[in-house]
Amino acid sequence: MCAFALKLLRSITKCLPQLLSGLMMSSHLFDSTIVALATPPGTGAVAVVRLSGPSAWAIAAKLFAPTSGEAFSPWQAQHGVLHTDNTSDDGNDALLDEVLALSFKAPKSFTGEDVVEFHLHGSPYIAQRVLAACVAAGATMAGKGEFSQRAFINGRLDLSQAESILELLNASGDKVLDAATNNLRHQTLATHINGLCETLIHIQSQIVASVDFPDEVDEPDRHSLLKELENLDTRLQALEASAQASQVIRGGIRVALLGRPNAGKSSLFNRLLASERAIVTDIAGTTRDTVEEPLMIEGIPVTLVDTAGLRHDTVDAVESIGIDRSWQAAKGAYAALYLVDSSQGLSDDDNAALATLAKDYPQLPVQIVSTHADIADTTIPNSMAVSSVTGQGIADVVAVLSQWVQQAMATGAQQETLQQQLCLSQRQHQCVIIARVALAQTVEALANPLSPLDLATVPLTDVLRQLDAMVGRDTTEDVLTAVFSQFCVGK
């Protein structure tokens, strides 16, 4: 009886998150059929109108006449024409366009529902007429992210995969693209979380069994449980480190280009970008405001910020504002390149600015760059010689930027694989933080020999709930709304 009860308890505990998720999903069954433009608005070669829902095929059949055969053959493209469902004054349906129709049968579609896509000529006017005809035939205009939300509700995606789609749509570099694609295809985050949850459930079942069946199940060894929780916290720390690296993967780092007027900041800025983005003249103080542009370094966006020249003797009110913004750029940067004209050497303004950086921004990495190396032999101590004209030293600057990217990601040997696989959102990062707090409370309860064993079950359940929320197994309506509202209409 004891073994059977323990086995049953473990089974129920293990299935509880899925049961809760199933109850949540059952309240969201969709009866409506939605429609939206799945391609960006504006004129293009092709526009795609997507229908999804129980009546997708029936609605599409009212509008689509295949050139040959019957509409629709699942997972095949068919040529035909679209016409309005309403009869015009002359008794003929109004022709809308010559199209390709792609049909998908539930549950083998993106949303898990019946889906039809019409590939039209890319006229915004035609697309709007087709959308109006679909609505007139019984469809409802889709909201933001509703196609992806239906895919989640119907079990085609977990929430982490849905968020990976959003990452793909907003990807600005190879690293975030690789991580999002990997998670979307292989559920890397869900697999990792499931492993953590299995460990939690194993610990929880031991505690619950001994509390509920004290005459049949011995109390587990607290030292062993604490050891398991310690290992679990180590894995959560790795996940949190991955979340922190994700912020760098997603948003990159900012690097400010600082220095006196005419130190060569804008020239280096343009050389690194391979574009004449900033105005370059021989007139001191040409740059009055910050200019920003992203540069991809190892698949990570590095935002270069060109700034106004730093000097103390200006009487120009506009230039003074620009200098203030230069210091604000330094404050908001991860690192800074400080440029010195090697033909003039370090000036009092340079020494004062470098002293200010060391005093007011002690955590800011600063690399001194000696510019105009093509016309001067002097090299500033602890600097790298660069010529924006000949390209001398540019590779060295890029190497420094790459080093800063790696430092920002805090890539270590133990974390590298995890960081390459996972790119966590801010919501998921918050779940990890809360989970670690609850885990610490669990450890505190178990570490106290006078504390009843069952006091550890409440925070332990909170840990499990946070991990489940990361992949959408136990997620509130508000969270789902917040996630899918970030999508565009038609996705």
Task: Report the alpha-carbon distance of residue 350 to residue 358 in Å, rounded.
Answer: 12
Considering the domain architecture, whether residues 285 and 358 belong to the same structural domain is answered as yes
The CATH number of residue 323's host domain is 3.40.50.300
Considering the domain architecture, whether residues 260 and 385 belong to the same structural domain is answered as yes
Q: How far is CA 109 from the centre of its chain?
A: 24
Q: How confident is the model at residue 4 (pLDDT cuts 50, 70, 90)?
A: very low
Residue 23 has pLDDT above 50, yes or no: no
Considering the domain architecture, whether residues 458 and 435 belong to the same structural domain is answered as yes
Classify residue 407: in a domain, yes or no. Answer: no
Considering the domain architecture, whether residues 381 and 423 belong to the same structural domain is answered as no
What does the pLDDT read at residue 481?
63
Considering the domain architecture, whether residues 258 and 240 belong to the same structural domain is answered as no
Classify residue 465: in a domain, yes or no. Answer: yes
Q: What is the CA radius of gyration of the chain?
A: 30
Domain range spanning residue 461? 185-249+416-472
With contact defined as beta carbons under 8 Å apart, do 104 and 114 qualify?
A: yes
Classify residue 457: in a domain, yes or no. Answer: yes
- Is 25 buried (19+), middle (13-18) or exposed (0-12) by CB count in 10 A? middle
Classify residue 144: in a domain, yes or no. Answer: yes
With contact defined as beta carbons under 8 Å apart, do 336 and 330 qualify?
A: yes
Classify residue 479: in a domain, yes or no. Answer: no
Length of the chain: 491
Q: Is 140 helix (H, G, I), strand (E, B) or coil?
A: strand
The CATH number of residue 117's host domain is 3.30.1360.120
Classify residue 28: in a domain, yes or no. Answer: no
Classify residue 409: in a domain, yes or no. Answer: no
Considering the domain architecture, whether residues 206 and 261 belong to the same structural domain is answered as no
Considering the domain architecture, whether residues 269 and 340 belong to the same structural domain is answered as yes
Task: Report the alpha-carbon distance of residue 416 to residue 245 in Å, rounded.
Answer: 10
Considering the domain architecture, whether residues 323 and 435 belong to the same structural domain is answered as no
Q: Looking at the 3D structure of the chain, how many domains does it have? A: 3
The CATH number of residue 205's host domain is 1.20.120.430
- DSSP letter at 456 equals G
Alpha helices in 286-347 (DSSP H): 317-331
Considering the domain architecture, whether residues 46 and 114 belong to the same structural domain is answered as yes
Beta strands 253-259 and 291-297: pairing type? unpaired
Classify residue 20: in a domain, yes or no. Answer: no
What are 381-430's pLDDT values in tens digits?
889 999 999 999 999 999 999 999 888 876 433 344 444 446 677 788 88
**Predicted TM-score (pTM) above 0.85:** no
Considering the domain architecture, whether residues 268 and 284 belong to the same structural domain is answered as yes
What are 90-145's pLDDT values in tens digits?
555 688 999 999 999 999 998 999 999 999 999 999 999 999 999 999 999 998 88
Considering the domain architecture, whether residues 383 and 261 belong to the same structural domain is answered as yes
Considering the domain architecture, whether residues 240 and 261 belong to the same structural domain is answered as no
Give percent of the chain above pLDDT 70.
76
